[in-house]
Amino acid sequence: MNDLSLTVPPLAAALIAENFRAGTDGLEIGGLPVRSLVSRYGSPLYLYDAAILRRRYRALAATLEGFASVYFSIKANPNPGIARVLVEEGAGLEIASGAEFILARQAGCAPEHVLFAGPGKGREEIDLVLAAGIGEVHLEGFDDIALVGTRAAALGRIQPVSLRINPGAQAQGGAMRMGGKPSAFGIDEEQMAEAVAALKQQPALKLTGIHLFAGTQILDAGVLLDQWRYGLELAARLAGLAGHALTSIDLGGGLGIPYHAGDATLDLAAIRSGLPALRAALEADPRLREARLLVEPGRWLAGPAGLYVGALRAVKQSRGQRFLISDGGMHHHLAASGNLGQVIKRDYPIVAPDRLTAPLLADTQLVGPLCTPLDTLGRQTALPELAAGDLVAVLQSGAYGLSASPVGFLSHPMPAEVLVENGRSEVIRPAGTFQAPLVNARGEGSFWAAAAE
């Protein structure tokens, strides 16, 4: 089968050409047919290809070489099996909870390569990460400054911290779409001097840096570069207020990936060509010259590496509308159902792994098994003629998938998560009930096989 003869929609075709393969046994991930993985591990199923994660990490690290290092925002996919691949490649991890710190350690990340952001940190979380020697804690408000300062003092540690700044209205100009609004995240730019004064009251805290992160799913390199440039301006002002040099500048995540027909692909070459100007601004400022810069994307690194696969249970027509009813749905993939905060519900790229060359029928609805009309993964989806038992796969599903979904709703089984690389597959989360994993005697992930034993 030749990729060029696929009849899938253009975005799906481009993604398959970039990351997957259409073989004689249908769609392949990491050299293995999706169909064979479903036979082995059951459906629904999350599949990830480690090689895609590695490629993306390396591409971004090469783009930012000499400018910034790459951290992975673990909330995008908190399975330690995913983070481990990126940590092996050299990524640090950005966490936003104490439990994510435990996952980061399970992924093999050294505590000094972890940074902790998040607006409502608890005392127990702070104690856990401080005692373990976390690299940086990013402070998001005055209570955060007081809490981390008190706990660091109690634990006898001098803790490096950054201030997360919520940019002011002046950052609104041009292509910039950040800040200026009230926010639970970070300290308002207007309060930066007050925050520095509060930090100076905490002898156990050492202000080493600044953290900026205002938006997600940015597809325009110019917008990112503008935000980063503004971040460097704020860093210079913060260093001025602090009266000393900064050693850490976190420019945030937010790098986007295409999900919908017509979405752009973030242009890494355009980012690269904007970096010398930023580098020059840093070099010109003695208080920023020595700073280590980092970015902390989640979606961009992990999103394209994952597929969410379901098997059809029924196909029906209702008043002229074709419905495909899958065993997979919003309970595992809320984002693909358009219910994870999206303003406009648009389809993710969806294909039928076994029927990549069959003619498409337009305006199909792909729904899940839940008793709610919210459980719709495809609204006006072009999919071929399909029957019960056939597979459907949602592309771009490696970030904000399972962990961002209402997995307990309706008590369908939790899907297995399987990591593949170069023709090998490994269960990184066995299938189970919402409450507990179920593993069958063969140690594999098929829920119903395990339940029957």
Q: How far is the CB of 195 from ligand PLP (least distance, A)?
A: 17
Q: Around Cβ 197, how many Cβ atoms within 10 Å?
A: 11
Q: 400 vs 447, which CB is nearer to ligand PLP? A: 400
User: Cβ(186)–Cβ(243) under 8 Å?
Assistant: no
Say which residue the tokens 């000393």 belong to.
244
Q: How far is the CB of 293 from ligand PLP (least distance, A)?
A: 14
Q: 119 vs 180, which CB is nearer to ligand PLP? A: 119
- Range 52-91, binding ligand PLP (CB under 6 A): 73, 75-76
Q: How far is the CB of 296 from ligand PLP (least distance, A)?
A: 4
20-25 contact pairs (CB < 8 A, 24+): 20/49, 20/307, 22/356, 22/357
How many degrees, rounded to 5, is the angle at CA 259 between CA 421 and CA 315? 85
Contacts of 237 (CB under 8 A, 6+ apart): 192
221: nearest Cα among 163, 292, 165, 278: 278
Q: 92 vs 353, which CB is nearer to ligand PLP? A: 92
Burial of 280 (0-12, 13-18, 19+ CB in 10 A): exposed
Q: 33 vs 401, which CB is nearer to ligand PLP? A: 401
Contacts of 334 (CB under 8 A, 6+ apart): 340, 404, 405, 406
Q: How far apart are CA 291 and CA 63, in angstroms?
A: 18
Q: How far apart are CA 248 and CA 301, in angstroms?
A: 22
Q: 252 vs 401, which CB is nearer to ligand PLP? A: 252
Q: How far is the CB of 295 from ligand PLP (least distance, A)?
A: 9
For 381-397, b where at least 16 C-beta lie within 10 A, e where not — what string? bbbbebeeebbbbbbbb
Q: How far is the CB of 277 from ligand PLP (least distance, A)?
A: 23
Q: How far apart are CA 204 and CA 88, in angstroms?
A: 32
Work out which of 135, 167, 231, 253 binds ligand PLP, going by CB under 6 A: 253
Characterize the bridge pairing of strands 92-95 and 114-116.
Answer: parallel
Q: How far is the CB of 184 from ligand PLP (least distance, A)?
A: 11
3-11, 119-127, 261-269, 291-299 -> range binding ligand PLP (CB under 6 A): 291-299
Q: 135 vs 253, which CB is nearer to ligand PLP? A: 253
**H helix runs in 156-219, sequence order:** 192-200
209 near ligand PLP, judged by CB under 6 A: no
127-135, 155-163, 290-298, 352-360 -> range binding ligand PLP (CB under 6 A): 290-298
Q: 138 vs 332, which CB is nearer to ligand PLP? A: 138
Work out which of 296, 354, 375, 417 binds ligand PLP, going by CB under 6 A: 296
Work out which of 299, 332, 355, 412 binds ligand PLP, going by CB under 6 A: 299
35-43, 252-260, 318-326, 337-345 -> range binding ligand PLP (CB under 6 A): 252-260
Q: What is the 3-state secondary structure (H, E, C) of 78-125?
A: CCHHHHHHHHHHCCEEEECCHHHHHHHHHCCCCHHHEEECCCCCCHHH
213 near ligand PLP, judged by CB under 6 A: yes
Q: How far is the CB of 164 from ligand PLP (least distance, A)?
A: 7
Strand order in the sheet with 21-23: 21-23, 26-29, 32-33
Q: How far is the CB of 61 from ligand PLP (least distance, A)?
A: 15
Q: 299 vs 412, which CB is nearer to ligand PLP? A: 299
Number of residues forming the site for ligand PLP (CB under 6 A): 17
216 near ligand PLP, judged by CB under 6 A: yes
Residue 451 parent element (H or E)? helix 447-452
Q: 249 vs 431, which CB is nearer to ligand PLP? A: 249
Q: 46 vs 447, which CB is nearer to ligand PLP? A: 46
255 near ligand PLP, judged by CB under 6 A: yes
C-alpha distances in Å from residue 236, one per residue of 42, 209, 280: 54, 10, 13
- Range 93-132, binding ligand PLP (CB under 6 A): 94, 96, 117
Task: Write out the residues near ligand PLP by the rule CB under 6 A.
Answer: 73, 75-76, 94, 96, 117, 213, 216, 252-255, 296-300
